[in-house]
Amino acid sequence: MLTPPRTVVRREAGLYALERALQRRGFRHVAGADEAGRGACAGPLVAAAAVLPEGRRGEIEGLADSKLLTPASRERVYAEVVDRALAYAVVVIPADEVDARGLHVCNLAAMRRALASLTTRPEYVLTDGFGVDGLGVPGLAVWKGDRVAACVAAASVLAKVTRDRLMVELDGVYPAYGFAEHKGYITPEHSAALREHGPCREHRFSYVNVAAVSGRDGRPPRARRPGGHGSDEPMERSWASGGTVGVALGEQPRPPTPVGEDVAMEGGVR
């Protein structure tokens, strides 16, 4: 049996080269998945998946890693992705779920849920950084995938814009923290507000800086949120007709993760 020739995709070949190479090999529908909010200490974790059409229609002007785009550019690219994508899906994991199940577990579960929710079944999956198992189709984890593959960049924009909109909404509920500006990431202003006001129910108590100001430093975090605005039910939001938006609940919770699992802020423009 002859082995098919090896496909080499060079980084300098452009954002669409990897998908085009896979399509030439017979994988017509290539899905990308990415998340936003992994490094934030407040607000939800948001994952998205997208399948772009083949050919010129799938080429979106200005598409890039969401962290490299200005807010205005992200909004414009977001609208183009929603308009052109064969399928897209967004999943929102609230802060208390991140505390209860652990950041990495929630990250993989959210990407898996987003990919499973696509109305066009992907034939190949590209993910940013982390491999996602249990998809039933071949896939590849791509380092800096949102800068290498167009479908991953599209998912990155969907996740980032959705999460930023949610954080602006939360700013109206908890104005003392400045969520609309820093989007829940660790900045000097956010840290000062945490010290002055303590955490709200949308903060992640499994993060070391939140645990420290909550009086839980050095003790395992709890999934129970503090009292305050609204009920104790997890936060849910709906966005953008044409896609699938959900909250990844209903799976068996796992023991809380150690304090300070991830406090690194995502780079680039917020």
Q: pLDDT tens-digit profile of 67-84?
A: 888 899 999 999 999 999
Whether the pLDDT of residue 234 is over 70: the answer is: no
The pLDDT of residue 217: 53
Query: Residue 8: pLDDT band by 50, 70, 90 thresholds?
Result: low
pLDDT tens digits, 78-104: 999 999 999 999 999 999 999 999 999
Between 223 and 175, residue with greater pLDDT: 175
**Separation CA 255–CA 90 (nearest Å):** 25
Query: Where would I find the beta strands (DSSP E) of the chain?
Result: 30-36, 45-51, 87-93, 124-128, 139-142, 244-247
The annotation status of 83 as a binding-site residue, yes or no, is no
What average pLDDT does the segment 222-236 reach? 41
Q: The tokens of 262 are what? A: 């991830």
Q: Hey, what amino acid is at 216?
A: R
Give the per-residue pLDDT at 10.
53
Long-range contacts of 206-209 (CB under 8 A, 24+ apart): 206/98, 206/99, 206/102, 206/103, 206/256, 206/257, 206/258, 206/259, 206/260, 206/261, 207/41, 207/259, 207/260, 207/261, 207/262, 207/263, 208/259, 208/260, 208/263, 209/41, 209/263
- CA distance linking residue 139 with residue 30, whole number of Å: 9
Output phi, psi for 176, to 5 deg.
Answer: -70, -15
Residue 243 has pLDDT above 50, yes or no: no
Instruction: Answer yes or no: is pLDDT of 202 > 80.
Output: yes
Quote the tokens at residue 201.
């129910």
pLDDT of residue 165: 97
Residue 28 carries which DSSP code? -
Q: What is the structure's pLDDT at 179?
A: 98
Question: Quick one: pLDDT at residue 205?
Answer: 94
- Other residues' Cβ atoms within 10 Å of the Cβ of residue 101: 24
| pLDDT tens, position by position, 120-164 | 999 999 998 878 888 889 999 888 877 889 999 999 999 999 999
pLDDT for 63: 86
As a whole number, mean pLDDT of residues 19-32 equals 92
Confidence (pLDDT) at 87: 96
Q: Does the annotation place 171 within a ligand binding site?
A: no
Per-residue model confidence (pLDDT) at position 216:
60
The span from the CA of 160 to the CA of 66, in Å, is 7
pLDDT at 238 over 60: no
pLDDT for position 82: 95
